[in-house]
Amino acid sequence: MQLCRTVLAPGARSRGPSPVGRAWLCSPGYLQPTLRSGRGARDSRFSLPITEIDRPRPSDITKSKLFQAVRSAPDMLKSDIRSFWDQGSAGEFWAVGSDAKARFLAEEKSRYQFEPFIPEFADFAAATDRVVLEIGVGMGCDHQQWARARPRHLLGTDLSWRSVAYTRERFDLFDLKSDLVLTDCESLPLASDCVDLVYSWGVVHHTPNTPQAIREIHRVLRPGGIAKVMIYHKWSLTGYMLWTRYGLLRGRPWCGLDHIYANFLESPGTKAYTVKEARQLFGQFSDVRIAIQVNYGDLLQSEVGRRHRGLLLTIAKTLWPRWLVSRLLKRQGLYLLITALK
């Protein structure tokens, strides 16, 4: 396995699977299904000993044998996290339309309408000719923007079958190319120092060992490479609202925000960080910039996640003083936008 961990030479051009791609595919991760998208998928040079599942649709996922095998993994928390995201990907509530293409387009439109700061933060155009890795692709909307910028090599990961299947379907529909791998961000099957840019939006706070995930980001980045990562901010309006609903109104005001995020926000064990803690997490990096961003959940706009519905929320949505909140409580946003230089 070690042999496969080849480092991409600086400036090397990729024809077929680059050394990065080979490392990706030959690493221990090859035991998991590797889903390839776009033109490369039909290239015989890629016929490595991979278990290829042909185009799983999200509805088939829970029936898949491989899915069952993955579920029996010893790490039960991670298994629960995977299971949560296998039941519904982030942003699925925006994907409405008569066919798959229409649904992806609708999701893309709503995503950037409600989160216009994503393209600004990500700076997708910077991917041109770079080796880009996205960790936690979800439905693949941002991944599609990276692909459109024509990176030298695009790699994408997610722990959830549903997410990888969605992204693959999306890439096939829009004729885009990426090496998509179902894998765990705490152990990336990738050589060290080989990626120019790592992007991860709302992912590493879900994994049990977040510091390990960030060490992995640092390891795979080449010196001078950039990480763009969004993680949740502890002192957020979303946190206070969840605390009111699940702490105060349930007669448990002593419940801390950590407990609230871990049990009521999204997948089990979700974490949120103060700016100081985020700085510590990225302590290995040479330069770290952190911005706080209010999101559509803080403003009670749109759907706020599949766990949160009901009369109380409907009333709160009607009465919420969005204009005031977005101007006066800018430092109470749920998102920490982190740009870190290796």
Residues that bind ligand SAM (CB under 6 A): 81, 85, 89-91, 135-136, 138-139, 157-160, 163, 184-186, 201-203, 206-207
| Residue 136 C-beta: closest distance to ligand SAM, Å | 3
Nearer to ligand SAM, 16 or 28 (CB): 28
Nearer to ligand SAM, 69 or 328 (CB): 69
Q: How far from 289 is each of 141, 199, 282, 292, 336, CA to CA, in Å? A: 24, 15, 10, 10, 10
| Residue 248 C-beta: closest distance to ligand SAM, Å | 26
Name every residue whose Cβ is closer than 8 Å to that of residue 285 and which is 6 or more positions away in sequence. Answer: 218, 227, 340, 341, 342
| Residue number, nearest CB to ligand SAM | 138
Task: Supply 76's token pair.
Answer: 């039960």
Task: Supply 88's token pair.
Answer: 């519904």
| Residue 279 C-beta: closest distance to ligand SAM, Å | 22
- CA 201 to CA 196: how far, in whole Å? 17
| Residue 327 C-beta: closest distance to ligand SAM, Å | 26
Long-range contacts made by residues 95-102, C-beta under 8 angstroms, separation at least 24? Answer: 95/139, 100/169, 100/173, 101/173
Where is 231: in which H helix or E strand? strand 221-232
| Residue 125 C-beta: closest distance to ligand SAM, Å | 19
| Residue 286 C-beta: closest distance to ligand SAM, Å | 25
Nearer to ligand SAM, 80 or 129 (CB): 80
| Residue 340 C-beta: closest distance to ligand SAM, Å | 17
Contact 237, 338 (CB under 8 A): no
Nearer to ligand SAM, 162 or 249 (CB): 162
Nearer to ligand SAM, 27 or 163 (CB): 163
Nearer to ligand SAM, 136 or 333 (CB): 136
Burial label for 219, CB within 10 Å (0-12, 13-18, 19+), is middle
C-alpha distance across the termini of the chain, in Å = 26
Nearer to ligand SAM, 60 or 287 (CB): 60
| Residue 311 C-beta: closest distance to ligand SAM, Å | 26
Nearer to ligand SAM, 160 or 236 (CB): 160
* DSSP β-bridge partners for residue 158: 182
Nearer to ligand SAM, 110 or 163 (CB): 163
Name every residue whose Cβ is closer than 8 Å to that of residue 209 and which is 6 or more positions away in sequence. Answer: 186
**113: how many CB neighbours lie within 10 A of its CB?**
12
DSSP string for 189-225: -S-TT-EEEEEEES-TTTSS-HHHHHHHHHHHEEEEE
- CA 244 to CA 261: how far, in whole Å? 12
- CA 129 to CA 124: how far, in whole Å? 12
| Residue 212 C-beta: closest distance to ligand SAM, Å | 9
